[in-house]
Amino acid sequence: MDTDAIETPRAPLFRSATRRRRRRLLGSLAAAGLLSACGTQTSSGVAAVPEEATSRPSGLTVSPDTTAPTAPAVCPDSGVLLRAAEANAAMGLREQQIELVNCGKSVYTVNGHPSVQVLDADLKPLEVTVGHGASGIATVDGFETATGPVRLKPGERAVMRLLWRNLVTDTTRPAADGRYLRIAPNGDGADVQTVPDLVDLGTTGKLGVSAWARPAPERPAPNRPGADRPDAGS
């Protein structure tokens, strides 16, 4: 047999096209796998980051959440706006300031302790004992600073404080994690507002509330030693 006369048959053209389509398909599948690892896609085509599963670690103290939501700066029909500041946390003790702003056009008066109810993420009340002052929670100097009614002109503010401990000491009961506060400024059910807030009570079930007071004046920054001398800057 004359081997020089034998020619290697060429692959049909449709096989090469099939291989190319297969390679493109594999590349698309790989890209889709990368997107699914990062999250699902939104209608705009941007990959959405999946929500992380949250769990409460076992132990006595839970670290604070620094992403507590804030109330929108929109003046309600009542003419008063309530908003929560970031809580101060130390060794499981939380202290937080709630501010009331007279955003209306007339004078608004607050007197004594507001009515406060802690709600969960579904706006359902939690079993929490709310008391006046810091008794039974901690000894905090100056927690109660009110001296009587606070008469607020438009644009003026009043503040009250919340105090609680974030401890998990009873593993047989779920920890109380409040996500909202329902507050009646004068405790009579009028002008009630629901304020987004994180109140991580753990299993303590106690919340201390102070009376309304005017905000404490800001302290000036202390001068450096010798800064008031004429030659201090030379």
Tokens standing for 161? 């404080």
| DSSP state, residue 3 | G
Contacts of 69 (CB under 8 A, 6+ apart): 196, 197, 198
Task: For 18, list phi and psi in degrees, rounded to 5.
Answer: -65, -40
Quick check: 149 pLDDT over 90? yes
CA distances, 213 to each of 13, 153, 162, 181 (Å): 86, 14, 13, 19
CATH number of 80-209: 2.60.40
pTM of the full predicted structure? 0.63
Q: Helix or strand or coil: residue 15? A: helix
Residue of 56, 57, 63, 60 whose CA lies nearest to 170: 60
What pLDDT, on a 0 to 100 scale, did the predictor assign at position 217?
A: 78
Compute how many other C-beta atoms are within 10 angstroms of the C-beta atom of residue 47: 14
- On whether the CB atoms of residues 97 and 85 are closer than 8 A, the answer is yes
Give the residue extent of every domain in the chain: 14-47, 80-209
- On whether the CB atoms of residues 146 and 210 are closer than 8 A, the answer is yes
Confidence band (pLDDT; 50, 70, 90) for 169?
confident
What pLDDT, on a 0 to 100 scale, did the predictor assign at position 120?
A: 94
pLDDT in tens, 202-222: 888 999 999 999 998 765 655
pLDDT in tens, 7-64: 545 544 445 555 565 566 555 544 444 444 443 433 333 233 333 333 333 334 344 4
Quick check: 192 pLDDT over 90? yes
- How many angstroms separate the CA atoms of 97 and 170, rounded? 28
